[in-house]
A and B are shown apart, each in its own frame.
Chain A
Amino acid sequence: MSRNPYIRPVSDTTWWTAQPRYIRYMAREVSCILIGAYTGVVTFGLFHLSQGAAAWNGFLETLQSPLSIAFHLLALAFALYHTTTWFNVTPKAMPLQLGETQVPGGVIIGAHYAGWAVVSIVVLFLVGA
């Protein structure tokens, strides 16, 4: 009898297809690419705004193309997925204990959604004003 441990190969490219939880993880990671691209679009728009009314209106017109609308819908979907998946794991990263009582995870998650709503309302108010 001898020792000859066998090491199973692990794929560097397809490992994430092995489990649905890995696919969900990769979707969350990939969401940052869409969010990054959207940030680029917004920055591009700000640049056009600085170039005067004609440039700004041209930018707005580009946004109305089917390709642009498809991109924005996709970016929105991934941004929502990114946000909700991170909010849902906040009780793991930031558990709260009051005395001997553990604050329920739902309360911590709910507080994040409430904060999100407040910030959104403030932003909408500022834009409206």
Chain B
Amino acid sequence: MSDRNVELEIMRYDPDTDQAPSFKTYTVPCPEDWVVLDAINYVKDQLDRTLSYRWSCHMAVCGSCGMMINGEPTLACKAFLRDLPDRIKVEPLANFPIERDLVVVMDDFMDKLGSVKPYLIPKEQKAVEDGSYLQSPAQLKKFKQYTLCINCTLCYAACPQYAHQEAFVGPAALALAHRYNLDSRDVGRSAREDVVASNPGIWECSFVGACSDVCPEHVDPAGAIQQTKIASTMDYFTGFLPGGKS
């Protein structure tokens, strides 16, 4: 057990009583294997039961415990205290309204995620008895990286475009649209185009690349958006050719 203690400076906001958030500092122990989520759980269990935050799996799978840790969008379950300074500032994810303490309102993200039709749209629906939709390993590899998104929304918290243009569909939703557009079993690209290839879609992105920097699953949404821009541009120009896409 390490003798070290760390000061957790946690942003608190009570919608019933507060006009604006403020910080409250807690001193917590710092065992070698603790992550920031353990420290926050310690605060909740031992020091202040009123603290609200989201978490579930404690293993970077559920995507629930995203928060700003020393100004960086991070999963609290992946941020080891041993790698952080003695004073750690913990805030709710940037660019989202604060519901309470470290809990943010995710409605806007959920709406945008749904708007890109993030599901398989096959050419023909097959009955179960007709078997599965076949796919080669090479076809799977084209999009597998984009299936790894855990909807943690760290990418939205890192994106300055989303901070300034609320209408921006945003990194995770556009990456997921790209994932289905690349899927050999899917024919839904034109159905997604109204949202994806619009101004608030891919064209709002100016390729800051922060979304990919902070992604805990290395999905690379910035890359997905740039690839979609190229595909959309090709659509535009091939539209002028005989038989091209109008």
Contacts and interface: CB of A to CB of B under 8 A. Distances in A.
A92 B208 CA distance: 13
A97 B138 contact: yes
B15 A8 contact: no
A18 B72 CA distance: 10
Interface stretch (A19-27, A61-69, A110-118): A19-27
Nearest to B221: A92
Nearest to B213: A21
Where chain A touches its partner, the secondary structure class is: loop
A19 B105 CA distance: 24
A125 interface: no
Nearest to A3: B15
A93 B227 contact: yes
Interface in A70-129: 89, 91-95, 97, 99-100, 102
Interface residues of B, number: 35
A5 B15 contact: yes
A4 B15 contact: yes
B164 A100 contact: no
Given A3-B15, A6-B21, A92 B212 contact: yes
A7 interface: yes
Interface in B162-215: 163-164, 206-210, 212-213
A20 to B, nearest CB: 10
A89 B222 CA distance: 10
Interface string A27-56: 001000000000000000000000000000
B18 to A, nearest CB: 8
Interface centre among A3, A15, A102 (most CB of B within 10 A): A3
Contacts of B226: 89, 92-93
Given A99-B138, A102-B141, A19 B71 contact: yes
A16 B15 contact: no
B68 to A, nearest CB: 10
A22 B160 CA distance: 8
> Ordered nearest first, which 7 A-B pairs have the shortest CB separation?
A92-B223, A5-B97, A4-B15, A93-B226, A6-B98, A25-B208, A100-B138
15 contacts: A1-B15, A5-B97, A6-B97, A12-B164, A16-B160, A19-B72, A21-B213, A22-B160, A25-B209, A91-B223, A93-B227, A93-B229, A93-B230, A95-B223, A99-B138
